[in-house]
Amino acid sequence: MRRPIALLAGFLLAGACALPASAADGDEDFTIKDPRITESSGLAASRQHPGIYWTHNDQDKGAYLYAVDSSTGETVATITMTGVGTPRDVEAIAMGPGNEIYVGDIGDNDGVEWPYVWVYRLPEPKTLKDQTVRATQYVVKYSDGPRDAESLVVHPKTGRVYIIDKQEDGGHLYESPAKLSAGGTNVFKPITPVDMWATDAAFSPDGETLAVRGYFGGIAYDWNGGKLKRLERISVPLGQGESLSYSTDGTKIMLGSEGANSNVVAKDAPGDAGSSDSSADGGSSASSDDGDSGRTGDLKVGAIAVLVACVVVFGFRRLVRRR
């Protein structure tokens, strides 16, 4: 009789302890500890590997991407891109449909006015280890001439690529052709103003919200098919804020900065359009309304499960004693 009791208690306690770990989901603050990463200029949450964020240096000595585990802050894989030239000023990274990684070599901080910039696309590795991955390189020009930019986003549903130029008095959202061509020049055209000195941007997982950040603040827009409607302001941490990503489940936005041992700060996603489970008409799952309510609920469920286990164990012991 004691053995079934012990097994039952073990199952109940295991269920109580096997609650979702927020850190493993990649929606809590973390510090990038890799000493090689001193100019983290972009951030993108992996969909295949929960809790992993891809980042890169501003001006590295090679075509490198780093997979950082948000639960430890350590780099768990380094990707060397092949099939591309020597990067000039890599400023952005984004995830597209089909677990494709897009990298924006689009910066022009020194005022050189490059006649063209580059976008790289590569498949996200299924296994996290140091490896080389062949990327496709796209030549990009702007319809209204050269410009500096640090924000590249890929719509999670359509796969269309967008760039936001960086101007103190606000820039524009530039749209790519419907399909990028590796054999020619891809001309990006401005489609709508963006009221931000933009250093990075990200789509929510459902593609309904575009979050844009700068050094001193940010703005969340209703995507509205590319006809942006302002939703709300976004507060950002102090420092040289360079990166922005949604967490994989869309309940948080992750705000990063440059520098050695740089911090990534998690904040509740703006509005209620962050979750990939949100309906197209703006509805949302319960978890996207309050980032802390889910964790509070998990704790309550865990406490109840432990209590039930204790009651069962002690109840059966009393029954055995009576017999």
For residue 116, give the CATH number of its domain.
Answer: 2.120.10.30
Query: Reduced to 3 states, what is the DSSP secondary structure of residue 317?
Result: helix
Q: Output the pLDDT for position 109.
A: 75
Terminal Cα-to-Cα distance of the chain (whole angstroms): 11
Q: Is residue 66 part of a domain?
A: yes
Contact assessment for residue 140 and residue 119, using Cβ atoms and an 8 Å cutoff: yes
pLDDT in tens, 104-161: 999 987 777 899 999 999 999 999 999 999 999 999 999 999 999 999 999 999 999 9
Give the count of domains, the chain.
2
Q: Output the pLDDT for position 272.
A: 57
Q: Which of 93-97, 100-104, 107-111 has the lowest mean pLDDT?
A: 107-111
Q: Is residue 317 part of a domain?
A: yes
Question: What's the average model confidence in pLDDT over 74-80?
Answer: 98
Cα–chain center distance at 38: 19
Look-up of token digits 């952005």? 92
Same domain, 241 and 318: no
Q: Is residue 265 part of a domain?
A: yes
Q: Output the pLDDT for position 200.
A: 98
Per cent of the chain over pLDDT 70 is: 76
Q: Is residue 117 part of a domain?
A: yes
Contact assessment for residue 128 and residue 49, using Cβ atoms and an 8 Å cutoff: yes
Distances (CA, A) of 220 to 75, 213, 234, 269: 30, 9, 7, 9
Alpha-carbon span 284 to 45, nearest angstrom: 20
pLDDT in tens, 259-308: 999 999 999 999 854 444 433 333 333 333 333 333 333 333 333 343 33
Q: Output the pLDDT for position 21.
A: 42
Same domain, 219 and 312: no
Same domain, 124 and 237: yes
Same domain, 111 and 163: yes
15, pLDDT greater than 60: no
Question: What's the average model confidence in pLDDT over 23-39?
Answer: 90
Same domain, 323 and 185: no
Greater model confidence, 183 or 274: 183
pLDDT in tens, 194-244: 999 999 999 999 999 999 999 999 999 999 999 999 999 999 998 889 999
Tokens linked to 306: 């432990």
Same domain, 100 and 240: yes
Q: Across-strand partners of 190?
A: 174
Closest among 198, 196, 84, 180 to 141, alpha carbons compared: 180
Q: Is residue 27 part of a domain?
A: no
Q: Which backbone phi and psi does 268 adopt, to 5 degrees? A: -55, 140
Same domain, 133 and 68: yes
**Domain range spanning residue 319?**
1-22+290-323
How confident is the prediction for the chain on average, in pLDDT?
A: 82
- Assign 3-state DSSP to the chain and report helix, strand, coil percentages, each to 5: 20, 35, 45
E-strand stretches of 18-99: 30-31, 40-45, 52-57, 64-69, 75-82, 92-96
Contact assessment for residue 257 and residue 32, using Cβ atoms and an 8 Å cutoff: no
Same domain, 108 and 37: yes
* Upper half-sphere CA count for residue 84 (Cβ side, 13 Å): 28
Closest among 189, 196, 224 to 212, alpha carbons compared: 196
- The CA-based angle 187-211-25, given to 5 degrees, is 115
Same domain, 283 and 317: no
Same domain, 18 and 156: no
Q: Output the pLDDT for position 24.
A: 60
Query: Reduced to 3 states, what is the DSSP secondary structure of residue 93?
Result: strand
Distances (CA, A) of 163 to 94, 104, 150, 234: 11, 9, 8, 20
Same domain, 307 and 323: yes
pLDDT in tens, 224-235: 999 999 999 999
**Which sign does the torsion angle of CA 159, 132, 105, 33 carry?**
positive
Same domain, 127 and 230: yes
Contact assessment for residue 133 and residue 82, using Cβ atoms and an 8 Å cutoff: yes
